[in-house]
Amino acid sequence: MTPEGSSPGSAGRCPLLAAEGLTKAYGATPALDGVEFAVHAGEVVAVMGPSGSGKSTLLHCLAGIVRPDTGTVRYGPHTLTALSDARRSALRRTDFGFVFQFGQLVPELTAVENVALPLRLNGARRREAERRAREWLERLEVESVHDRRPGEISGGQGQRIAVARALVTGPRVLFADEPTGALDSLNGERVLTLLTDAARESDAAVVLVTHEARVAAYSDREVVVRDGRVKDLTAGLR
């Protein structure tokens, strides 16, 4: 038996990212109600639930984008909920990666420029940033469109470029919010395979928000958010 919020292979290890007693309300509506959550390095956890269940709010609290009303988020040695806005923003640039449903690529930039952007924002020189960006474009099988802008490529290609951008900085935690929601099943499966394989190879933790069982199937563990609370769906299988 492994601790609640852990996968069988993570027994005895400290989680890389953990939340304790999170609450968050918007007006009179509770989004999170005493949530406990943990993810380990190299682990992919799917956060499932219907629309409005609180799963995106949980992701935003875990990533330090939104402060919970009460509770604690710990990332490695950091108490994320105690850090200043500037320090949390810095961690999101260096330690966290993000993939969203619609990619959110910068339309004026080429594919290689989009992927290189996080490196450039962190002070890398253009040549080095674009060299590393090309490596990730090749790894994600979209190097052939490196000089095209988002309006000149397919949705599947755009989402692979967004994944490359999220991984180029070598994040320790990757947050993916409905990353294949705008793709057909074939492109969605390819993006998920590339995303999860690359994350596991780099020993990054992945928090994968989805409402689709076929997407959750790419994870090591599934939790469900309902009425602001989290239940580990694999707990009874251990």
- The answer as to whether 23 is a domain residue is yes
Return the higher-pLDDT residue of 142 and 183: 142
Torsion of CA 110, 159, 174, 193, to 10 degrees: -130
Are 111 and 142 a contacting pair, CB within 8 Å? yes
Indicate the pLDDT class of residue 152, thresholds 50, 70 and 90.
Answer: very high
Count of CB atoms situated within 10 Å of the CB of 100: 17
Assigned domain for 155 exists: no
Is 229 contained in some domain?
yes
Give me the pLDDT at residue 103, please.
67
Give the DSSP H or E segment for 199. Answer: helix 185-201
Q: Is residue 46 over pLDDT 70?
A: yes
- pLDDT the model gives residue 235: 57
Q: Does the residue 226 lie in any domain?
A: yes
Average pLDDT value over all residues in the chain: 90
Q: Which residues of 176-194 are buried (b: 16+ CB within 10 A; e: fewer)?
A: bbbbbbbbeeebbbbbbeb
Q: Residue 21 sits in a domain of what CATH number? A: 3.40.50.300
The predicted-structure confidence for 49-74, as pLDDT tens digits, reads as follows 888 889 999 999 999 999 999 999 99
Residue 160 lies in a domain: no
- 158-175 pLDDT, tens digit each: 999 999 999 999 999 999
Full-model pTM: 0.88
Q: Which two tokens stand for residue 56?
A: 């995106």
In the chain, how many domains are there? 1
Residue 105 within a domain? no
Instruction: Kindly state the greatest CA–CA separation across the chain.
Output: 52
Q: Residue 79: phi, psi to the nearest 5?
A: -95, 100
* Domain contains 118: no
What number of other Cβ atoms are within 10 A of residue 29's Cβ? 10
Amino acid identity, residue 29?
Answer: T
Domain range for residue 218?
Answer: 1-95+171-179+202-238
Share of the chain above pLDDT 70, in %: 92
Q: Is residue 193 part of a domain?
A: no
**Paired tokens of 224:** 């469900």
Cβ atoms of 35 and 19 within 8 Å: the answer is yes
User: Do residues 49 and 225 make contact, with C-beta atoms less than 8 angstroms apart?
Assistant: yes
